[in-house]
Structure formats: C-alpha cells, structure tokens
Chains A and B, each alone.
Chain A
Amino acid sequence: MRELLELLEHDARRPVSELAALLHRSEYEVEKQIQELEKNKIIMGYNALINWEKYGDNTVTSIIEVNLMPQREVGFDAIAERIYRFDEVRTVYLMSGSFDLLVIIEGKSLQEVANFVATRLATIEGVTATRSHFMLKPYKKDGIIMDDKECDRRLVVSP
C-alpha cells in the first residue's frame, strides 16, 4: 500500500498497467486499491505541478503570517475554517512560534492580494495581526526543483 502511494505521489499519471508491473500485482488489484485510497481520502487528489512563471502567467503568491485570538472550546479551528474556505487561499497551516496561521494566497496581481488581505482576512473577528510576504521566485516546490540543470551525463556505454 505504502509503495503504491509513493509511486503515485511521485508520478500520478502512471498507468495502472505500469503500477501493476512495478508492484508485482494484478491491474485489478491495483485499481481496487486506488479506489479504496481515494474513497478513504488518503489520496486527496491529483495535481499537476506547474511552473506558471515559465508559462508566462504572472500570478502573485503571498505568504501571510496571521495572529489569532483563540476562542473558547474551538481554539483556532473555527477561524481557520473561515479563512481556508476562501478560494484565493491555497494553503493554511497552524504553526508553533511567533504567529498562529501560515496562509498562502494566490492572486492575479499585487492589488488583488493586498485587497483580499485588507478587506477579507484582516477583518475576520479573532484575527489580531497579519504580516504579508510576497514570493519573488520559487526554487523548489513540493520536492521538485523548478529549474533543474542536472541531467544524465553518463557515457552511453560503460563496463
């Protein structure tokens, strides 16, 4: 099971036939397992990792540190949900340290992101402070180096 997940995490587009060959199992078995994993939300989805910058899309990414006033009974969860329900919000983590939530927002322009923070995020009750950082250049994302210059430098044939 773990091996199947690792293979899919590395390359979700691998056909079931190939996965079956790699895992020494039947295609039917692998297909069934994938369905099971999807049903149990262990596999949450399949995304392509896209270098939008290279495509020419000037998306703006902002990483925002958010301080919260925790609420009785629910702690941070209720406010976190109010934040992560926005489509603009790509990622939300509860953090240890000097701030509480790390929120990653994507927008079409600086304006749009700033506007979102000012009018939507900062005004939520329980949000006591926000600090926005704009991402300038991605070097590595989800384990993939964006502009990897390493290639196969081996001789074609060797002993």
Chain B
Amino acid sequence: MKWESRLSPVVNAIAPSGIRKFFDIAAEMEDVISLGVGEPDFVTPWTIRESCVYGLEQGYTSYTANRGLLELREEIVCLQQNRYDLSYNAKEDVLITVGVSEALDLAMRALLAPGDEVLIPEPCYVSYKACAALAGGVAVPVPARIENEFRITPTDLEAHITNRTKVLLIGYPNNPTGAVMSKDDLLAIAKFAEQHDLIVISDEIYGDLTYGGEEHVCFAALPGMKDRTILLNGFSKAYAMTGWRIGYALANPVFIAAMTKIHQYTMLCAPVTAQIAAIEALRHGEKYMKKMVAEYDRRRGFIYDGLTKLGLKCFEPRGAFYIFPDITSTGYTSSEFAENLLMSEHVALVPGSAFGDCGEGYVRCSYATSLDKIAEALARMENFLKNHHK
C-alpha cells in the first residue's frame, strides 16, 4: 500500500530534520560525548520546580484562559517594560504558547496566504522553513556569511525581495551560529522592513544569553517597529525549562487575536503547571539565570580557544550556546564530518547543512555541556583530525 501518496503533498514535500539520523546512531552508543544538544545542561532551578509542585498541591490542574494566566502575562509585560522600555497590554498584546515553536507556527498561519513569501536568513533554526511551508507560505532563504559574522544586511535581503514578500523572520542571538545583531545592524533591518512594509517575526529565545558585555537589542523596541513586529520569546533556554514547553508572543492586538483564534482551536491553552512555574521564573529566577549565563560564557571561551587551536576556523560566538566551526579544511562535507566523527571518536555534533544550504561546510557544536566533557570532546576531535582527511 502506498500510504505516502495519501499524505498531504505539503507534508510530503518537507524534508525530515537532518538531525534525526544522528540521533538514531548516537542514541545507541555507549560512551558518546554529545555536543549536539540544543538545550541547557542545567536542570530547571529548584525554586521554579518547587513552585510547580506547590501549584499541583493547591489543585491547579484546570485549563487556563486561552491567552494564558493573566498573572503570567502581566509579569511578561512588566519584564518588557523594565528591560526594553516597551509597553504592551497584558490583556490584548500577549499570548502564552506551548514553547516558541507553537508561537512561530501560529504567527505563520495567522499571517500567510498561499504563496506569500517569508525571508529567512540562514543558517537558522531547523523549523523556520518547515513552519512557513506548512502554513502555505514560501520560505525564501537568505544566506548569511561568516565574513560578516553571520549577520544579515539589507543588501543581502534586497536580493531576495519580490512583490510577494510579506514576512521577515529573524532569530538572533542565532542558533546555530551564535551570531548577534548590534543595534546598528538591526536599525538597518528596521529601515528595510519599513521600506518594504514587511511584518517582522523576531525569535529572541536566546536574548538573555549574550556575552562579552554585548547587550541584547530587542527588535520590537526599535523606533517604529513595535507595531509591525511579532516578538517571540520563552523560558526554555534562559531558565533551563525546555521540557516545560512555555513560550509567548507579543504583538499588536490584531495579530495576537488572530493567533489566539488558531491557538484556541488547536491547543486551547498552555499547560497550567508550566505557566505557574514560568511566573516563578520571572519573579525569582533571574539570579539563577545569570549564574548559568556566566557558566556558558566561560565554556564559550574555552571551546572557541580549543577549536581554533585545532586549526578550525571559527567565528567567536556572541550569543546562545553554540559555536559553528568551518570544517571545509578537512575535505569532508558537514554530514560526512559529523558521521565519521561520531563513528570513530563517538563525538556527536550536528552538521551545518541541517540549518540551511549555506550551513554546508560547518558543524554546530553546543557548549551547553560540562567543561570536562567539552575538554574530552576537543581531545577526541584532535585525534580525529590527525587521522582523518579526505
């Protein structure tokens, strides 16, 4: 039976995630050291976990409002006000979602008509393109280059604009490159968005994770941008809460109402227990978050030095917890490199091609892992590079 032919052609057209294959091999191995994990190695701070347990004891087990607990929305609004001087209305401009992933999906579905184009700077998070396609849109990748520290410029974008371009989707600090955009970089993008009347979806899930004194610039906080921006953020990375699945979207009331419409029919609401935990994260989690960020920062320097000493060209990451070394000197494609390294040295990482065509020639290493393991992984990679060349 050819059940495949019965599937939606849109789904059939989407390539399976390039990460899957490595997961299957690596999961079978015993002594694997993984630099392939896209989530913090810390467990959620206890105060957050404890508040969730307390919530359960108090009987918080029901649905919440579609948009999420008002208390949580108010905390989020308060955070934006304090940090970026951005004023949102907790009742109309906020939607709590099941992770940023859901928020991204909702934004795409709310905005895109069939054939509408979405500019997506690459390399980028694996789900961006798929989300656009599933919503009936057309993903238009815009390659970012290592020479420009993986930042994107209006000139890069200009080359891909058509009369169908509706949305620009940016994600900085960036997974997988660790790139960040300075205020000037973003001001140029803002001007471009205005010129072409684009709606900007800004995924700032790594916004709290910037290093070297680099302050994260919130795109919605730029002059004139708040209204045309759907700002996405969540708790997964900064508070080590990936499994809780809590994210949020901030935008003008029309966009949020449209996203809420989809959300209420497909998801109803985000889990109440996780929403309670998220409130605690915003109220008392900052000091734990800062400690984790300081630890990532130390590892960042360590892995950057290590990879550079191995002779791999690297951009020194400024945000998130990834580093994206250039492995073309080995003669391997990024897939071959990742596979051979896994097989011979049992080090798992993710081929850059999983993050877009222009990620070919790179691999993504996550430094959300203990220093001992990073050191061991570097030693194994050194061994690998000595013995393997195409």
Which residues of A come within 8 Å of B, CB atoms? 7, 18, 21-24, 150, 152, 154-159
Contact = CB atoms under 8 A, between A and B. Distances in A.
B301 A156 contact: no
A22 B350 CA distance: 25
Nearest to B32: A156
Given A154-B41, A159-B17, A159-B127, A21 B23 contact: no
Contacts of A22: 298, 301-302, 371
Contact of B36 (A7, A24, A158): A158
A29 to B, nearest CB: 15
A159 B302 contact: no
A-B complex: 5 closest residue pairs judged by Cβ atoms: A157-B36, A157-B23, A156-B26, A159-B126, A158-B38
29 contacts: A18-B302, A18-B371, A18-B375, A21-B302, A21-B306, A22-B298, A22-B302, A22-B371, A24-B301, A150-B43, A154-B39, A154-B41, A155-B23, A155-B27, A155-B37, A156-B32, A156-B34, A156-B36, A156-B348, A157-B19, A157-B23, A157-B27, A158-B23, A158-B36, A158-B37, A158-B39, A159-B17, A159-B38, A159-B350
Contacts of A155: 23, 27, 37
A7 B301 CA distance: 15
Contacts, number: 55
Contacts of B288: none
B341 to A, nearest CB: 13
A157 B305 contact: no
Contacts of B39: 154, 158
B244 interface: no
A155 to B, nearest CB: 6
Nearest to A11: B371
Contacts of B37: 154-158
Nearest to B370: A152
Contacts of A152: 41
A157 B17 contact: no
A157 B350 contact: yes
A109 to B, nearest CB: 36
A20 to B, nearest CB: 10
Contacts of B23: 155-158
Nearest to A158: B38
Most chain B beta carbons < 10 A, residue from A18, A23, A152, A156: A156
B240 to A, nearest CB: 11
A157 to B, nearest CB: 4
Contacts of B384: none
Contacts of B22: 157
A150 B46 CA distance: 12
Most chain A beta carbons < 10 A, residue from B27, B41, B298: B298
